[in-house]
């Protein structure tokens, strides 16, 4: 098997030590390493990543691209596909801190309005004991159901400190309005976990729709990322209706020049979504350019907690 060259290794190192990197920054690294810019040498860029991922797959890692659902920007990162929470977060975070992170992720993905964030007050009010009793945290060493003191005593100030740290490390993000959303690192790392836990996906790109627009029809469960909606509705002759129920869908489109140039390519690939049976989501098709490339070896979810998600339909069933 041909070995990776130093150029390949520099790209991996850049993402390990400095990642996740925005597409722009990672492209700049690539340009520095190869003397060629991915914008003009897409095939070369793809070949590099495919080769790297082929090698990394032996150690169950990969370089992956994904969109931050907060702003639709593409990021690249180094992802360990066998990593459980302990190895990913565990080197830096304590067990209660990891449990706290899981609770926040759970609260965000369970939100039936798909806002992709919770208020900082809701975050600070999270009770780790509940997480423990829901079985979402691995059982304590002595196998008892009692809540460890570290969980009971996890104070508000510890939570505040943990929040800051998680935001700094890009596991979470802090929105301008003070709300807490998922950070780029979570979007990168939890991608397979979103799938295996049936987080509702975007009707256009099939990625998990953590932060998304809901179909204006209350009886329809369609969710679409705002950036996917803009792309779709920006196309000439595109009908501004829900692709599933046909209800008119209002969407404020930015002026053409505001649509990022970097998106040009996936506009192309998404302009003709694959036909698919109603209600059946393709799990691997129609991904964005970056995603398709970088998910070739993607498999195996991180050991996420067993989230019980709430969809609008299930919420309705209960009410």
Residue 205 interacts with Zn ion (CB under 5 A): yes or no: yes
Q: Pick the stretch among 187-195, 241-249, 292-300, 303-311 that binds Zn ion (CB under 5 A).
A: 241-249
In this chain, which of 215, 230, 290, 293 binds Zn ion, going by CB under 5 A?
215
Q: Minimum CB separation from Zn ion for residue 8, in Å?
A: 30
Residue 150 interacts with Zn ion (CB under 5 A): yes or no: no
In this chain, which of 63, 242, 286, 287 binds Zn ion, going by CB under 5 A?
242
Residue 217 interacts with Zn ion (CB under 5 A): yes or no: yes
CB of 69 or CB of 162, closer to Zn ion: 69
DSSP readout, 103-149? HHHHHHHH-TT-BSEE-HHHHHT--HHHHHHTT-SPPPTT--SSPPH
In this chain, which of 208, 228, 290, 294 binds Zn ion, going by CB under 5 A?
228
Gyration radius (Cα) of the chain, Å: 20
For residue 183, which phi and psi values (nearest 5 degrees)? -90, 170
Least Cα distance to 294 among 19, 104, 87, 34 occurs for 19
CB of 33 or CB of 233, closer to Zn ion: 233
Residue 138 interacts with Zn ion (CB under 5 A): yes or no: no
Q: Minimum CB separation from Zn ion for residue 247, in Å?
A: 5
Residue 134 interacts with Zn ion (CB under 5 A): yes or no: no
- Strands 223-224, 213-214: parallel, antiparallel or unpaired by DSSP? antiparallel
In this chain, which of 4, 10, 33, 245 binds Zn ion, going by CB under 5 A?
245
**Burial of 58: CB neighbours in 10 Å, binned 0-12, 13-18, 19+:** exposed
Residue 244 interacts with Zn ion (CB under 5 A): yes or no: yes
Structure tokens belonging to residue 199: 């987080």
CB of 90 or CB of 243, closer to Zn ion: 243
CB of 132 or CB of 228, closer to Zn ion: 228
Residues in the chain, overall count: 319
Which residues in 130-249 belong to E strands, given as ranges?
A: 172-174, 180-182, 213-214, 223-224
Query: Please, are residues 53 and 62 in contact by the beta-carbon 8 Å criterion?
Result: yes
CB of 67 or CB of 159, closer to Zn ion: 67
In this chain, which of 199, 204, 208, 229 binds Zn ion, going by CB under 5 A?
204
In this chain, which of 28, 124, 220, 241 binds Zn ion, going by CB under 5 A?
220
Residue 27 interacts with Zn ion (CB under 5 A): yes or no: no
Q: Minimum CB separation from Zn ion for residue 245, in Å?
A: 3
Residue 222 interacts with Zn ion (CB under 5 A): yes or no: yes
User: To which residue do tokens 């709430």 refer?
Assistant: 310
Q: How far is residue 93 from each of residues 9, 88, 97, 158, 185, measured CA to CA in Å?
A: 28, 9, 6, 12, 15
**Burial of 75: CB neighbours in 10 Å, binned 0-12, 13-18, 19+:** buried
- Distance, in Å, from the CA atom of 16 to the CA atom of 185, rounded to the nearest integer, reads 12
In this chain, which of 170, 211, 225, 232 binds Zn ion, going by CB under 5 A?
225
For Zn ion, the binding residues (CB under 5 A) are: 202, 204-205, 215, 217, 220, 222, 225, 228, 242, 244-245
């Amino acid at each position: 098997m041909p070995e990776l060259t130093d150029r390949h290794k520099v790209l991996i190192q850049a993402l390990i030590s400095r990642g996740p990197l925005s597409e722009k920054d990672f492209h700049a690294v690539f340009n520095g390493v190869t003397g060629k810019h991915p914008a003009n040498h897409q095939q070369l860029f793809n070949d590099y990543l495919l080769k790297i991922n082929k090698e990394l797959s032996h150690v169950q890692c990969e370089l992956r691209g994904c969109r931050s659902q907060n702003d639709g920007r593409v990021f690249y990162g180094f992802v360990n596909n066998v990593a459980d929470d302990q190895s990913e977060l565990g080197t830096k975070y304590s067990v209660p801190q990891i449990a706290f992170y899981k609770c926040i992720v759970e609260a965000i993905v369970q939100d039936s309005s798909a806002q992709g964030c919770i208020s900082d007050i809701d975050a600070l009010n999270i009770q780790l004991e509940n997480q423990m009793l829901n079985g979402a945290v691995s059982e304590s060493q002595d196998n008892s159901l009692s809540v460890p003191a570290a969980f009971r005593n996890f104070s508000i100030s510890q939570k505040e400190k943990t929040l800051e740290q998680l935001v700094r490390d890009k596991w979470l993000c802090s929105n301008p309005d003070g709300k807490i959303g998922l950070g780029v690192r979570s979007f990168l790392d939890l991608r397979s976990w979103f799938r295996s836990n049936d987080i509702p996906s975007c009707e256009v790109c099939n990625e998990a729709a953590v932060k998304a627009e809901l179909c204006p029809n209350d009886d329809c469960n369609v969710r679409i990322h705002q950036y996917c909606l803009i792309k779709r509705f920006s196309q000439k002759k595109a009908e501004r209706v829900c692709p599933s129920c046909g209800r008119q869908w209002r969407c404020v489109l930015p002026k053409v020049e505001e649509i990022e140039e970097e998106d040009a390519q996936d506009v192309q690939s998404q302009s003709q979504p694959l036909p698919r049976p109603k209600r059946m989501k393709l799990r691997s098709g129609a991904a964005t350019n970056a995603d398709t490339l970088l998910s070739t070896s993607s498999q195996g979810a991180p050991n996420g907690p067993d989230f019980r998600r709430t969809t609008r339909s299930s919420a309705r069933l209960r009410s």
